[in-house]
Structure 1
């Protein structure tokens, strides 16, 4: 990531921005107000095409001691005419990935726990949302031949989308949604909660071992 840790990096063209709907511009601008943990690096990336008339995308990584513990992508979609499946004019879509420790990877309840981290991160910040849906995928890798010395690895992947509640001005609190999404990233990465109150009822992945651990 090129952005400074704990900061939001954006590079927008003024002419391009002025052509966008007011509500979408405000929703994008609000991302910059999010207060993020210092372990988070986040910056703008190319959004997907054809999902909505307007789209904006961010990518982020959780970095601790120069080691990437988790990474992900958050996409803001906007259709001024509304979308029947969304039941709103905005939609947030995410992909989050992290490598797991072996003892956590075999937990049969892992998918349910990971999904609860997403919904819990939104609820912890008082973010009402609708039409949430997604998948949690657990994939294992075993190494052979010249790579045989590497220990088996398991990766968790969360794909999800939800409709953020729009305010009276028709704009959702995207700063809070970004902060909640970063809470999810940190939890998947195995970092401890940032505040004592945040630890209530929360189960985190074990903290990552160093690259030479077996």
Structure 2
């Protein structure tokens, strides 16, 4: 992530210190070894300041590496505040993964997937507000020259929330990223990492997958 830090340093004079500190905290986060994460171009029209990361959950136990899930996280900042955000920062995320057919047809899948997000934030003790999002499941069926391919299904969670702010900006920006990576790993079918109970609610698991899914 050196390039991202260089860009940050070049624009330090015009970047609010609260945003710079939040980005530095993101890059200092300690994540699970299955997570491969790197900077990506940030959207320029959503807020005056934005920083984006893309992540992939990898199965490193197979021959080579297999992608189990992927997504992106964008940190937005508007120093003047944003009514819809109810704050000056906003976290916008995407998580997606292939599913086995029996999981894709589970009627509780959307609710369970959303509970993975809220459960991950609560398990990490992350203060947040104004959450919103969508859970989409889609299936592909193949015909003609592709008829020998088995149907496949995908789950996609798009979500955003407002991180709580303290006197110097976002509180625990790195923990927001860690919680989102917990969600990404759960969408990938990995067992949850040990986390101290938050005392509120819980995460409802779906059956674990039998093995890596083709992408």
* TM superposition score normalised by structure 2: 0.89
Q: Any residues of structure 2 matched to 1:170-209 within 5 Å, and which?
A: 170-195=169-194, 201-207=203-209, 209=211
CA distance in 1 between partners of 2:93 and 2:16 (Å): 23
Q: Any residues of structure 2 matched to 1:15-164 within 5 Å, and which?
A: 15-64=10-59, 65=62, 66-164=65-163
Structure 1 position 144, deviation (Å): 1.4
1:111-163 residue CA offsets vs partner (Å, 9 max, x unmatched): 00000100100000001111100100010000112221211111000011000
Structure 1 position 211, deviation (Å): 6.0
SS at the partner of 1:11? helix
Range moving further from structure 2, 55-64 or 167-176: 167-176
Q: Say whether the 8 Å CA contact 2:119–2:203 is kept in structure 1.
A: no
Q: Residues 111 and 211 (structure 1 numbering): CA distance in 2 closer, same or farther, change over 3 Å?
A: closer
Q: Residues 210 and 112 (structure 1 numbering): CA distance in 2 closer, same or farther, change over 3 Å?
A: closer
Q: Say whether the 8 Å CA contact 1:61–1:68 is kept in structure 2.
A: yes
Q: Residues 208 and 157 (structure 1 numbering): CA distance in 2 closer, same or farther, change over 3 Å?
A: farther
Q: Say whether the 8 Å CA contact 1:76–1:90 is kept in structure 2.
A: yes
Structure 1 position 83, deviation (Å): 0.5
Gaps of 5+ in 1: 1-8
Q: Residues 33 and 103 (structure 1 numbering): CA distance in 2 closer, same or farther, change over 3 Å?
A: same
Range moving further from structure 2, 115-124 or 11-20: 11-20
Q: What RMSD, in angstroms, separates the aligned Cα atoms of the two structures?
A: 1.8
* TM superposition score normalised by structure 1: 0.89
Q: Residues 21 and 197 (structure 1 numbering): CA distance in 2 closer, same or farther, change over 3 Å?
A: closer
Q: Say whether the 8 Å CA contact 1:187–1:205 is kept in structure 2.
A: no
Gaps of 5+ in 2: none
**Count of paired positions:** 203
Q: Say whether the 8 Å CA contact 1:70–1:189 is kept in structure 2.
A: yes
